[in-house]
């Protein structure tokens, strides 16, 4: 069995099903594979089948800033890793329009999930592909120990209205040639600890499934369950997922 076939078998063993919609945060290095990023991404798509939809964040918060506010969906390179930078340029991929928190999507629901992101005035608002996941039974896949990178949780914090997640003032951006003003993220000296989601999700209900793809520890999480459980924790303590930055 070659690497790609082994990765596909691992994905199916983890519980990825054809027809699903899955957003992926991944460490290519953690997989320990000799395959190319393109092959890894195509293998994920193969696991989802013709009716499935694959999403990867295409964040640009490092290169689109108040000092350098220009975003072009066709030209602005994602800043968060090899797989997102590769996926962005692959055939059939649609990118949502947001200056710092765009998402690249390929598959049956790509147009539906990306259509309205540009209407939001926050990074991970109700129209973002991230926050559409709970509405359609989508899941989050973390390949490697990358739970702290869970951008979906920013959307949970925005929706809840934590006192730390958004800037007080709107920021000027130029998005696909159009001037826009919107809020950004400002964690106000706090560091996120989203790995704590493992403490609140119930494996017995398949809210979180653990396993391996290649050499990487993986977590497959139900987005609707995470939204519910995380909001319950935030009602107890709105700082439950953050700690002071050292």
- Give the model confidence (pLDDT) of 185-219 as tens digits: 999 899 999 999 999 999 999 999 999 999 999 99
Q: Residue 163 and residue 79: Cα distance in Å, rounded?
A: 26
* Separation in Å, CA 113 to CA 39, 87, 100: 24, 16, 17
Q: What is the pLDDT of residue 246?
A: 81
Both tokens assigned to 88? 């962005």
Question: Quick check: helix, strand or coil at residue 63?
Answer: coil
Radius of gyration of the chain (CA): 17
pLDDT in tens, 79-89: 999 999 999 99
CB contact at 8 A, 90 and 43: no
Whether the per-residue pLDDT at 56 is higher than 70: the answer is: yes
Instruction: Kindly report the pTM of this predicted structure.
Output: 0.96
**pLDDT computed for residue 188 by the predictor:** 86
pLDDT at 91: 97
Domain boundaries, the chain: 3-244
- Residues with Cβ within 8 Å of residue 179, at least 6 apart in sequence: 172, 173
Question: Which of 227, 243, 61 is closest to 157 using CA atoms?
Answer: 227
8-46 tens-digit pLDDT = 999 999 999 999 999 999 999 999 999 999 999 999 999
Distance CA 243, CA 227 (A): 20
Whether the Cβ atoms of residue 71 and residue 176 lie closer than 8 Å to each other? yes
Euclidean distance between CA atoms 45 and 68, whole angstroms: 34
* Span 146-173, pLDDT tens digits: 999 999 999 999 999 999 999 999 999 9
End-to-end Cα distance, the chain: 46
Whole-number mean pLDDT of the chain?
97
Q: Does residue 1 register a pLDDT over 60?
A: no
Neighbours of 189 (CB within 10 A): 9
Identify the pLDDT of residue 28: 96
CA distances from 1 to 28, 42, 110, 144, 200 (A): 20, 17, 32, 22, 37
Please check the confidence at residue 234 and state whether its pLDDT lies above 80: yes
């Amino acid at each position: 069995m070659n690497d790609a076939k082994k990765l596909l078998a691992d994905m199916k063993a983890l519980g990825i099903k054809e027809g699903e919609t899955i957003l992926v945060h991944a460490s290519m290095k953690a997989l320990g594979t000799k395959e190319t990023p393109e092959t890894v991404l195509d293998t994920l798509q193969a696991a989802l089948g013709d009716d499935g939809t694959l999403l990867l964040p295409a964040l640009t918060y490092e290169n689109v800033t108040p000092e350098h506010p220009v975003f072009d969906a066709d030209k602005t390179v994602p800043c968060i890793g090899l797989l997102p930078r590769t996926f962005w340029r692959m055939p059939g991929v649609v990118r949502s329009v947001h200056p710092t928190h765009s998402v690249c999507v390929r598959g049956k629901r790509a147009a539906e999930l990306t259509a309205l992101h540009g209407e939001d005035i926050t990074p991970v608002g109700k129209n973002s592909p991230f926050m559409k996941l709970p509405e359609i039974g989508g899941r989050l896949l973390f390949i490697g120990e990358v739970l702290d990178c869970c951008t979906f949780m920013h959307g949970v914090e925005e929706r809840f209205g934590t006192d730390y997640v958004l800037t007080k003032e709107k920021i000027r951006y130029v998005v696909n040639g159009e001037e826009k003003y919107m809020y950004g993220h400002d964690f106000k000296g706090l560091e996120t600890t989203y790995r704590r989601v493992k403490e609140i999700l119930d494996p017995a209900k398949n809210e979180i499934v653990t396993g391996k793809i290649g050499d990487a520890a993986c977590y497959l999480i139900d987005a609707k369950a995470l939204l519910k459980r995380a909001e319950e924790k935030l009602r107890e303590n709105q700082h439950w997922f953050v700690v002071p930055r050292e």
